[in-house]
A and B are shown apart, each in its own frame.
Chain A
Amino acid sequence: GQNIDQPTEMTATEGAIVQINCTYQTSGFNGLFWYQQHAGEAPTFLSYNVLDGLEEKGRFSSFLSRSKGYSYLLLKELQMKDSASYLCAVREGGGADGLTFGKGTHLIIQP
């Protein structure tokens, strides 16, 4: 079966760094995505990894280890607006199939 695990909730301080982990066990693997979702809004794309290693994009970085079935999203210089849910999602196949999402990590930023 498919299993994508992330912590349910995390708290961090404004200006600090936080790492959100995601582990996955899926029947196939064709890329891992991170999405941000503010309450009452649509998920918005943050990052994509298909090869092992780190992808950096401004204050956000994402890491992938396919052999370990593991990814993390690193957020630096945290701002209050970063308070949101962060969704880890795996694309399993190469055809027109959708993403398999984890249950999301609710990140709370404190002043």
Chain B
Amino acid sequence: DTAVSQTPKYLVTQMGNDKSIKCEQNLGHDTMYWYKQDSKKFLKIMFSYNNKELIINETVPNRFSPKSPDKAHLNLHINSLELGDSAVYFCASSQFPLSGRRDTQYFGPGTRLTVL
């Protein structure tokens, strides 16, 4: 009964490769997110997406792109991987937030990406 799932859990790859991380949620949520957690454990938003808008953190390189085939999935594609991309990537989901409304984000288990 996993609410938010990600695959793969671990990903080891060479510099310059292109890779994808998949995320699925079965909570019926409207909004999904990708976060990056670096080696210092700092969790930072990369993208948030629902059927109306994609919000991109301006610090994210355009080598990263989210792709959503449907409301329950938000995959992360990374082109031309670099050493600095090594991190743990977390997917999350929430109900579409309305002003003043509780909006808890539920996180997936994370994907540890290592670029060699």
Contact = CB atoms under 8 A, between A and B. Distances in A.
Interface residues of B, number: 34
Contacts, number: 72
A96 B106 contact: no
Contact of A101 (B43, B49, B100, B102): B43
Nearest to A91: B103
Given A45-B104, A97-B55, 12 more contacts: A30-B97, A37-B41, A41-B110, A85-B41, A89-B43, A91-B103, A96-B31, A96-B52, A96-B53, A99-B45, A101-B45, A103-B40
A45 to B, nearest CB: 5
Interface string B75-110: 000000000000000101000111110111111111
B105 to A, nearest CB: 6
Interface of B: 30-31, 33, 35, 40-45, 47-50, 52-53, 55, 57, 90, 92, 96-100, 102-110
Interface of A: 30-31, 33, 37, 41-45, 48, 50, 85, 87, 89, 91, 94-101, 103-104
B43 to A, nearest CB: 4
A99 B53 contact: no
Nearest to B47: A98
Contacts of A30: 97, 99-100
